[in-house]
Amino acid sequence: MKRKAVTILGATGSIGVSTLDVLARHPAQFNVFALTAFNNVATLFAQCQQFNPVYAVLVDEVAAEQLRQRLLAVGSATIVLAGKTSLEQVASEARTDYVMAAIMGGAGLLPTLAAAKAGKRVLLANKEALVMSGRLLMDTVAKYGAELLPIDSEHNAIFQCLPNSTAEHAAKNTHSAGRAASVERILLTASGGPFRSWPLEKLAKVTPVQAVAHPKWRMGQKISVDSATLMNKGLEVVEACWLFGVTPAQIEVVVHPQSTIHSMVSYNDGSVMAQMGNPDMRTPIAYALGWPARIQSGVAPLDVIAAGRFDFERPDDKRFPCLRLAMEAHETGGYATIALNAANEIAVAAFLAQTIGFMDIPLLIADVMQSAETGTPDKLDDIIIQDEDSRRAASFWVKKKMH
């Protein structure tokens, strides 16, 4: 069988590095076509030397020139491209088979859409793209015969727990998962983040260092803060609604601090299917790369005796209002989820820069959501306008807070 050529958007990040680790275990099955990043020259240079992609892309022009010089000096044949549009180019190139969408935040939207439009197998880590463009991305997948496979560990777990034929429909977006009569509910697990048991009074004083220290997963900074506010779980509810064609009412968020069960599907005969494993993103990545076959990921098997116990509790939406905000946004419509995502990105950046506090994050988001359009956009231009408006409103909120 011909090797699958893989493009990784966001190769230097946490998901990108894990993806390369899995690919390196299967040289007969996959080759690396393109690697992209924002401006991380050193990491991308080392990755190019190891994997010899046809293209390397850095969005930042100065960084791209530095990478070009360094690769030239070692006689590499990798072609270096610069700028945002190059991301779309490599994501949709005829020679690419699979695209790992692992850019952080809304910056991943256009290249992810480009990959879907080119009919690729899209491995979706970049949940923000789906939160922003749920209807458009799902329609694009169906229209151009792409495949959309979830990388987010919970959604990958749900995908694994669905009946086979339903999973197949979900990947091609025929929206049948939610309609499979036998599936009653989806149980979306959450670790609860580092502040699960902190009292409300203490949360206002949380520092960026405390917020990014996730108890179970090593991830990029933004998603680590999202996990601490539970916005990550909110974004994941929206993500699950689009991926599996269900409503928030069909999803129950359960806090499971051990993070051994990655999510569950509850059936009409009383069965609950759970997917378990060590918390290591190489498992969902390998599952999506190999699907429908299973391939080795490098993750050690779960030691259930050592895992010992599974605890479950309800999320507390007084201390973590972001979860409820995201569910409300999805009920309101696509414009509201664009506003939610844009406001959250600005709020998290401001929190990391120590210009706003941890409990300001939900306040800012709730305010910015108020001014979103109603309904759900199906045109890219409308999505981009709402995104820009909400980012502006959120930045203004931060400025006002500083004075």
- Using CB under 6 A as the binding criterion, the count of chain residues that bind ligand NDP stands at 26
Q: Which is nearer to ligand NDP, 206 or 223 (CB)?
A: 223
- Using CB under 5 A as the binding criterion, the count of chain residues that bind Mg ion stands at 3
Choose the contact partner of 10 out of ligand NDP, Mg ion, none; CB within 5 to 8 A by kind.
Answer: ligand NDP
In the shown chain, the binding pattern of residues 178 to 217 toward ligand NDP, with x for contact by CB under 6 A and - for none, equals ---------------------------------------x
Could you say whether residue 66 binds ligand NDP (CB under 6 A)?
no
Could you say whether residue 155 binds ligand NDP (CB under 6 A)?
no
- Which 3 state secondary structure label does DSSP give 34? strand
Could you say whether residue 344 binds ligand NDP (CB under 6 A)?
no
Q: Which of residues 218-247 bind ligand NDP (CB under 6 A)?
A: 219-220, 223
The dihedral over CA atoms of 376, 379, 385, 387, expressed in degrees to the nearest 10, equals 60
Q: Which is nearer to ligand NDP, 67 or 368 (CB)?
A: 67
Could you say whether residue 40 binds ligand NDP (CB under 6 A)?
yes
- Which 3 state secondary structure label does DSSP give 228? helix
Could you say whether residue 128 binds Mg ion (CB under 5 A)?
no
In contact, 63 and 83? CB cutoff 8 Å: no
Shortest distance in whole angstroms from residue 341 CB to ligand NDP = 10
Choose the contact partner of 37 out of ligand NDP, Mg ion, none; CB within 5 to 8 A by kind.
Answer: ligand NDP
Could you say whether residue 115 binds ligand NDP (CB under 6 A)?
no
DSSP 316-382: -TTT-THHHHHHHHHHH-HHHHHHHHHHHHHHHHHHHTTSS-TTHHHHHHHHHHHTSPSS---SHHH
User: Among 153-161, 183-191, 200-208, 258-266, which window interacts with Mg ion (CB under 5 A)?
Assistant: 153-161
In contact, 193 and 219? CB cutoff 8 Å: no
Helices 153-161 and 231-244 pack at an angle, to 10 degrees, of 30
Report the residue from 93, 152, 239, 280 that binds Mg ion according to the rule CB under 5 A.
152
Report the residue from 39, 210, 258, 332 that binds ligand NDP according to the rule CB under 6 A.
39
Q: Which is nearer to ligand NDP, 176 or 242 (CB)?
A: 242
For the chain, the distance separating the N- and C-terminal CA atoms, rounded to the nearest angstrom, is: 62
Residue 294: Cβ within 10 Å count: 11
- Return d(Cα 283, Cα 297) in angstroms, integer: 6
Q: Which of 401, 403, 379 is nearest to 132 (CA)?
A: 379
- Which residues lie near ligand NDP (CB under 6 A)? 10-16, 37-40, 59, 102-104, 107, 125-128, 152, 217, 219-220, 223, 281
